[in-house]
Amino acid sequence: KNQVEQSPQSLIILEGKNCTLQCNYTVSPFSNLRWYKQDTGRGPVSLTIMTFSENTKSNGRYTATLDADTKQSSLHITASQLSDSASYICVVSDHYGGSQGNLIFGKGTKLSVKP
Amino acid sequence: ETGVTQSPTHLIKTRGQQVTLRCSSQSGHNTVSWYQQALGQGPQFIFQYYREEENGRGNFPPRFSGLQFPNYSSELNVNALELDDSALYLCASSLARQGYTGELFFGEGSRLTVL
């Protein structure tokens, strides 16, 4: 069964510190992996999309890595800010195709950044 | 701003009633998908519309139905509401091309409470 597991479930860090969120998946065949940021009560916003051939991708202070062999991805946040407080959702697409039903969502990691 | 708008933002219904949620997709996008997100969970895929036809559906009963209009806007209809239908309903638009699930742009969601 295609699944996406994220850890930790929640995380509290101090402003200015770095953190790393994990995503493990059992999706096959693999097409691409996406990270979204979702503020409480709002829609998710895309951070990165990575295909099989990409090992790392950055978007400002956010850096995503992908190891397609071990089926793991991480999202590293550098010099955290209060505005980084949100849920971070990992989404994996199981193959090239038109239906959005091929996107498998993780439950997300809830990050709280404290002053 | 993603260019995807949803209405209403909040609504309260009672068990057994019917509800219609609306979504205007980003200009140029031909695909709309709908998701249900319960509190503390990741989004769950309901269905997708591509050029006015449903072309993918998640594990939701037939009382969840939808439409896509020629301008690619969309509606989600839910009949015979149940308490468990209380959730944030997210709409996402994308530009689907052959063999590729496009990047999703989410709206801010419609928060439905069923009493």
Distances (CA, A) of A108 to A11, A38, A61, A90, B63: 11, 9, 19, 7, 28
Q: What is the pLDDT of residue A90?
A: 97
Model confidence at B111, pLDDT cuts 50, 70, 90, reads very high
pLDDT tens-place string over residues A68-101: 999 999 999 999 999 999 999 999 987 655 555 5
pLDDT tens-place string over residues A10-68: 999 999 999 999 999 998 888 889 999 999 889 999 999 998 889 999 999 999 999 99
Distances (CA, A) of A79 to A57, A105, A108: 17, 27, 21
**Chain B contact residues (CB < 8 Å to A):** 2, 4, 31, 33, 40-45, 47-48, 50, 55-58, 88, 90, 92, 94, 96, 98-101, 103-109, 111
Does B102 have pLDDT greater than 80? no
Model confidence at B112, pLDDT cuts 50, 70, 90, reads very high
For residue A115, give how far its alpha carbon lies from the nearest alpha carbon of chain B (Å).
24
- CA separation for the pair A86, B35 (Å, rounded): 19
In the structure encoding, which two tokens stand for residue A89, read together? 């959702």
Q: What is the pLDDT of residue A107?
A: 93
In the structure encoding, which two tokens stand for residue B9, read together? 């933002």
- CA separation for the pair A12, A5 (Å, rounded): 19
For residue B103, list chain A residues with Cβ-Cβ distance below 8 A.
Answer: 34, 46, 49
CA angle, residues B92, A29, A62, in degrees to nearest 5: 55
Q: What is the pLDDT of residue B101?
A: 63
How many residue pairs from chains A and B have C-beta atoms closer than 8 A?
Answer: 78
One-letter amino acid at B39 equals L
Mean pLDDT in residue range B53-61: 89
